[in-house]
């Protein structure tokens, strides 16, 4: 004759509908770091690209300023011009210049429509030669101490592109830095949770059965 197992017997069945496993809940599974790493690397990549753009803009601006060469403010200067380039005359006021080619023909010096200053020198004349070759620039300045610089044209459009580039760089930093910080925070939280999950797993099988 058999008797049903008592309530304290290890052979007693768990009550139906209790909603819990007979040996407790499973330990949490450690999660991968792919998501936080992608977010972090994306932010770093955007910031690195912004730094590269800064270097390019600074180098371009320095090259444009460095290409401006001083010429005689009250005399003549011999220069070589290319037909594919446009040049500018810059000064600190009171200067007038004429440009002639090797045959003595005068080249038009146009007055700029916008107020542009480069290295504290105002653009007062634009030269667009029709042919490449040797040219002569003759300048006269109305006051002592005035100077004239000549070189590739830096106009309002160039300055506008520089300003736009600065705004783009600022926007990239505004996007990249939060992405990188978010990736770091996510990575720290993920590592902390994975550590707790590994500690739970190290206590036994993932079923959490005591004594096994």
Query: What is the chain's length?
Result: 212
Of the candidates 96, 148, 143, the one whose C-alpha atom is nearest the C-alpha of residue 118 is 148
Q: Are 81 and 129 in contact (CB under 8 A)?
A: yes
Specify the pTM.
0.54
Four-way CATH pick for 68-155: 2.60.40, 2.40.30, 1.20.120, 3.30.70: 2.60.40
Query: What is the DSSP secondary structure assignment for residue 93, as one 8-state letter?
Result: S
Mean pLDDT of 138-154: 85
C-alpha triplet 139, 142, 146: angle, nearest 5°: 75
Q: What is the pLDDT of residue 46?
A: 92
Distance CA 70, CA 102 (A): 21
Q: Are 127 and 83 in contact (CB under 8 A)?
A: no
Q: What is the pLDDT of residue 28?
A: 64
Q: Which residues pair with 109 in a beta bridge?
A: 127
Q: pLDDT tens for residues 151-168?
A: 888 766 777 777 788 888
Residue ranges of domains in the chain: 34-62+163-193, 68-155
Q: pLDDT tens for residues 121-136?
A: 888 999 999 888 999 9
Distance CA 34, CA 21 (A): 32
In the sheet with 95-101, reading across from the earlier edge strand, the strands are 75-81, 133-141, 95-101, 106-107
Percent of the chain at pLDDT > 70 equals 76
């Amino acid at each position: 004759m058999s008797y049903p197992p008592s309530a304290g017997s290890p052979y007693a069945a768990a009550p139906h509908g209790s909603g819990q496993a007979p040996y407790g809940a499973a330990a949490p599974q450690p999660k991968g770091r792919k998501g936080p790493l992608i977010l972090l690397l994306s932010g770093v990549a955007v910031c690195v690209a912004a730094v590269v753009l800064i270097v390019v803009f600074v180098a371009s601006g320095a090259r444009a300023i460095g290409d401006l060469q001083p010429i005689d403010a009250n005399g003549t200067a011999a220069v070589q011009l290319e037909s594919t380039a446009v040049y500018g005359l810059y000064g600190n006021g009171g200067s007038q210049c004429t440009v002639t080619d090797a045959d003595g023909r005068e080249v038009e010096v146009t007055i700029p429509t916008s107020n542009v200053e480069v290295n504290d020198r105002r653009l007062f004349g634009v030269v667009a030669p029709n042919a490449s070759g040797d040219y002569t620039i003759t300048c006269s300045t109305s006051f002592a101490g005035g100077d004239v610089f000549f070189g590739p044209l830096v106009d309002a459009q160039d300055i506008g592109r520089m300003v736009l580039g600065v705004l783009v760089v600022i926007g990239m930093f505004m996007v990249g830095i939060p992405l990188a910080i978010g990736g770091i925070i996510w990575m720290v939280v993920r590592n902390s949770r994975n550590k707790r999950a590994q500690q739970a797993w190290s206590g036994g099988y993932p079923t959490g059965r005591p004594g096994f």
